[in-house]
């Protein structure tokens, strides 16, 4: 365990840097920092590059790979101060949060040298090519194929719900490299450049009216053979390792932002006189209580992590908890707004509360739906038997 003075020094360093660098043009850009929120994108990229120059990207990555080698507790402190300061929502979740740690842990030396520096500098952005039209929760059902042609993989198929594909330079994709092998055995994990004729990105207009999610079509798209993480046909393991990062600490910053959102809601309720309504009052207090408990859960998980060294499968409780909480908060937000919630701004521009009411419906679906989360908790944490598979070919 780190000594408190050491941590306080780190906190001071973070706070000072933010004080000096966070000018008003950047403050509070980009909303809830959810992995699917691309408001103010260009300005946020500029900000992210400043973070990179100052060494605040890849906090927990090893120093010899360009990271800061920060401890979990330091990461927590960084996220706390960052959220408190109202700094912009981060833009590099898929690169810094998912692909980066995957390369750090499972990549070759050449891959580390090629892919990590542009992530650390916020010069290259990534998207996650997992889901397909027929492979959502059942990820191992992907049909996109890759076949070797000389020293290149040739990729054909379609991905969907690909967040920020329209901003991405690269895609980490799960593809089928052995169609004869059993479902989980014939998959590989490829890194595919987006800027090529064989890749087409089409936005999907969502419930919010914006298009953060995309369809990505691969038509004879190509990537060099060395752009594979792990062994050929061993991609399932790599894909799951990546999801482990996603369900762990990556959402910390977002949870801290919820506190700001809660403050806004309480202020709005008081401004509108809605906090005197006994039912709304009860719901507001309940939302507040559950928010505090979300934080307690996170701190408890980190304390046990610090004591035992690894994140257990119980970390999947976090995703189910925060996504359910935030969805319920969205409903409460429009309840507090009352009839005003029925009217959006010109050009279908929702206000903060209307936006969360709508966008939070995605949160219980992406990154493992709440139903999948419950299966994972039941099977991996509680040890309940797996559901017998329905006979299929």
Q: Give catalytic residue positions.
A: 246
Q: How far is the CB of 387 from other proteins (least distance, A)?
A: 5
Q: Report, in Å, the least distance between residue 229 CB and other proteins.
A: 31
Please, which residues bridge with residue 176 across strands? 145, 187
Helix (H, G, I), strand (E, B) or coil at 127: strand
Q: Token digits for 173?
A: 């994709």
Q: Give Cα 38 distance to the centre of its chain.
A: 13
Which is closer to other proteins, CB of 204 or CB of 266? Answer: 266
Tokens of 223: 């990537």
Angle at 98 between CA 23 and CA 328, to 5 degrees: 75
Decide whether 51 or 269 has the Cβ nearer to other proteins.
269
Reported as type and span, the H/E element at residue 283 is: helix 278-308
**Angle 225-229-233 (CA atoms, 0-180°, nearest 5)?**
80
Lookup: tokens for 261: 């959102």
For other proteins, which is the closer residue by CB, 240 or 293?
A: 293
Closest C-alpha among 160, 154, 155 to residue 134: 160
Cα separations (Å) of 310 from 41, 177, 314, 360?
A: 34, 32, 11, 30
What's the min distance (Å) between Cβ of 86 and other proteins? 21
Q: Which residue, 28 or 375, has its beta carbon nearer to other proteins? A: 375
- What 8-state DSSP symbol labels residue 96? I
Site residues (vs other proteins, CB under 8 A): 266, 269-270, 275, 281-282, 284-286, 288-290, 292-293, 296-297, 299-300, 303-304, 306-307, 314, 317, 320-321, 371, 373-375, 377-379, 381-388
In this structure, are residues 141 and 134 in contact, taking their beta carbons and an 8 Å threshold?
yes
- In the complex with other proteins, the residue whose CB is nearer, 121 or 302, is 302
């Amino acid at each position: 365990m780190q000594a408190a003075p050491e941590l306080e020094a780190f906190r001071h360093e973070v706070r000072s840097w933010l004080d000096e660098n966070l000018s008003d043009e950047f403050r509070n850009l980009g909303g809830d920092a959810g992995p699917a929120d691309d408001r103010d994108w260009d300005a946020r990229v500029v900000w992210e590059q400043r973070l990179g120059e100052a060494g605040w990207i890849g906090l927990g990555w090893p120093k010899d790979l360009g990271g800061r080698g920060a401890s979990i507790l330091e990461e927590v402190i960084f996220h706390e101060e960052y959220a408190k300061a109202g700094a912009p929502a981060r833009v590099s979740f898929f690169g810094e949060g998912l692909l980066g740690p995957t390369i750090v842990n499972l990549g070759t030396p050449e891959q580390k040298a090629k892919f990590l520096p542009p992530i650390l500098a916020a010069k290259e952005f990534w998207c996650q090519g997992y889901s397909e039209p027929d492979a959502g929760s059942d990820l191992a059902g992907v049909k996109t194929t890759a076949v070797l042609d000389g020293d290149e993989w040739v990729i054909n198929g379609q991905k969907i719900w690909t967040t920020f594909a329209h901003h991405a330079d690269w895609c980490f994709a799960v593809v089928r490299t052995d169609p004869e092998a059993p479902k989980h055995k014939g998959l590989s994990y490829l890194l595919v450049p987006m800027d090529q004729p064989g890749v087409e990105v089409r936005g999907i207009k969502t419930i919010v009216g914006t298009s953060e999610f995309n369809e990505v079509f691969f038509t004879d798209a190509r990537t060099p053979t060395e752009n594979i993480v792990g062994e050929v046909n061993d991609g399932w393991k790599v894909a799951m390792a990546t999801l482990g990062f996603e369900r762990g600490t990556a959402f910390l910053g977002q949870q801290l932002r919820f506190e700001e959102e809660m403050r806004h809601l309480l202020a709005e309720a008081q401004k509108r006189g809605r906090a005197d309504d006994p039912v709304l009052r009860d719901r507001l207090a309940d939302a507040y209580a559950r928010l505090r408990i979300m934080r307690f859960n996170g701190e408890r998980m980190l304390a046990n992590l610090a004591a035992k060294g690894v994140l257990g499968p119980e970390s999947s409780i976090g995703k189910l908890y925060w996504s359910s909480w935030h969805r319920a908060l969205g409903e409460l937000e429009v309840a507090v707004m009352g009839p005003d919630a029925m009217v959006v701004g010109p050009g279908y521009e929702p206000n903060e509360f209307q936006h969360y009411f709508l966008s939070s419906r995605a949160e219980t679906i992406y990154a493992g739906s709440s139903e999948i989360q419950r299966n994972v908790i039941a099977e991996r944490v509680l040890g309940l038997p797996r559901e017998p598979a329905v006979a299929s070919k």
